[in-house]
Chain A
Amino acid sequence: GEEVAQTPKHLVRGEGQKAKLYCAPIKGHSYVFWYQQVLKNEFKFLISFQNENVFDETGMPKERFSAKCLPNSPCSLEIQATKLEDSAVYFCASSRPTGRGSGNTIYFGEGSWLTVV
């Protein structure tokens, strides 16, 4: 597709429940990124993929967060046993590959709003 598609747009979960978010990158983009934005504050990088492979997971909380990008499927971000502080907008973004450190435009999806009550 021509845009990064994220679903669902809104998700409400009780504390301790599981939340799963999906992202379809722009066709032809081999990099996928997940960011967390809490209360309109700064973006926190979570994880990136190069195709199906984890490229950088330095921002990923280890205990409850997991992510996958499988062939022919949307990428997913899953939070087990959600906590109140997980309430945030989760943005997915994608980009074409480029030289290391030189950067390339990343395109964002509309975000998935997770509310943990």
Chain B
Amino acid sequence: QKEVEQNSGPLSVPEGAIASLNCTYSDRGSQSFFWYRQYSGKSPELIMFIYSNGDKEDGRFTAQLNKASQYVSLLIRDSQPSDSATYLCAVPDYGQNFVFGPGTRLSVLP
């Protein structure tokens, strides 16, 4: 069973700062990694995914993958109060399923 770990937070950052969210995974063979955002009382929505080592940028979001360290992170630049949510790291399992981390609660303070 794959395991995905995240710091549950809450992580508080001031508006305009960079928020850094971290995720580690247990299976060295994992190939792809997904970040979902979940607002309170809502369903998770996909932010971005990454397959290759290095950085992948999409607007204010950057995913960073280091397979040697089994570590994937999500950076949010110019954080806004609307970014306040729980961020879930997810790794596909062998059966088409996803294993989710416990999520990190982010609070962006105005």
Chain A residues within 8 Å of B, Cβ to Cβ: 31, 33, 35, 40-43, 45, 48, 50, 55-56, 91, 95, 97-98, 100-111
Contact = CB atoms under 8 A, between A and B. Distances in A.
Interface string B88-110: 10011111111111110000000
B43 interface: yes
A95 B103 CA distance: 21
Nearest to A98: B96
B28 interface: no
Interface of B: 29-32, 34, 40, 42-46, 49, 86, 88, 91-103
A91 B100 CA distance: 13
28 contacts: A31-B96, A40-B40, A41-B102, A42-B103, A43-B88, A45-B98, A45-B99, A50-B96, A55-B95, A55-B96, A56-B93, A95-B96, A100-B94, A101-B29, A101-B30, A101-B92, A102-B32, A102-B92, A103-B31, A103-B32, A103-B49, A103-B91, A105-B34, A106-B98, A107-B46, A108-B44, A108-B45, A111-B43
Given A105-B34, A105-B49, A42 B43 contact: no
Contact of B86 (A40, A97, A98): A40
A33 B31 contact: no
B93 to A, nearest CB: 8
